[in-house]
Amino acid sequence: MNIPHWEKWIACADPHGDMADQDAVAAFLKHNAAWKPKHRLLLGDNFDFRPLRRKASAEEQREHLGPDIAAGKQFIIQMRPTRYLLGNHEGRLVRFAQEGSGAVGELAQIGLAEIMACAKSAGATVYPYDKRAGIVKIGKLNFLHGFFVGVTAEQRHANIYGPCLFGHLHRIGEAPVPGLERRTARCIGALCKLDMDYNAHQPSSLAHEHGWAFGVCHKKTGEYVAWQARKVDGKWLVPSDIEEL
C-alpha cells in the first residue's frame, strides 16, 4: 500500500475460546498477516466462560475453564491485538473477580490477572465492557463489542454510537441512519462455531455468520473505508493490498 495518508485496520469479534471455529480463525489470522494493519482490534468475547453464566446448567457448571482460557490466550498471542475490548462473556469473569467470595472469587481474580498479563504481553491496551469506557475511536469510526440485540440492533447502535463496528450478535448486518454525515453501524460476524447447544432450537441463529471487518482510515481527516470479510461458496475472498486511483 503506497498511500501514506491512510492507515490500515482490522477488527474481529467473538472467537469464544474453546468454542472457536478453527477454519474461520485460521482464515482471519492469514488475512491479518497479509493485510499488515497498524490497528488490530479484538472486539470482545474472546472467551466463552459458560460455567459462569447466571443460568448455567449443572453440566456447564462442572466444566473446567482451563481449555477455554488456554484457547483464548492462544488467539491473543497469534493475533497480537493493539486494542482488546472486553465483551459480555469476559464480563462474567470480571463479575466473579469483583463480587465472588472465598475460593471462587480468588480463582476468578487469578484467571483475570492471567488474561490481562497475556494481553499486555501481546501489546494490547485493554478496555472494559462499558457503554462509555469500552469504546475505541479511530478517526471517525467507533469500535465496540456491542450492547443491543434483536432485529433493530444495528440501527440502535448507529443512533447511539454513530459510525461504528461491533460484534456481539454473531451475524453480519448494517444499518445506515440518515444525516448530514455518515452514521452506519455494522455488525461484523463472529469467529466462533455457529451452531451451539444453547441455540439449537433458535431459528434466529440461522442468521449467524462467520466474518470480520477491515479497512483504512485517513490520518488527517479521519475518513474511513470499511470492508466485510465473509465466506462465499466455501471460500474466503479478501484483498491484501489497496491503492489510490
Q: Which residues pair with 229 in a beta bridge?
A: 212
- Tens digit of each residue's pLDDT (9 = 90 or more) over 170-223: 999 999 999 888 899 999 999 999 998 888 888 989 999 999 999 999 999 999
- Tell me if residue 23 falls in helix, strand or coil: helix
Q: Which residues pair with 63 in a beta bridge?
A: none
- Tens digit of each residue's pLDDT (9 = 90 or more) over 50-68: 888 777 676 776 778 899 9
- Tens digit of each residue's pLDDT (9 = 90 or more) over 151-170: 999 999 999 999 999 999 99
Write down the number of H helices and E strands in the chain.
6, 12
User: Is the Cβ–Cβ distance between 244 and 237 less than 8 Å?
Assistant: no
Say whether pTM exceeds 0.85: yes
Name the grid cell of 79: 493475533
pLDDT of residue 1: 64
Q: Which residues pair with 190 in a beta bridge?
A: 210
| pLDDT at residue 112 is higher than 90 | yes
pLDDT of residue 179: 86
The radius of gyration of the chain's CA atoms, rounded to the nearest angstrom, is: 18
d(CA 114, CA 158): 34
Residues 6+ apart with CB under 8 A from 116: 126
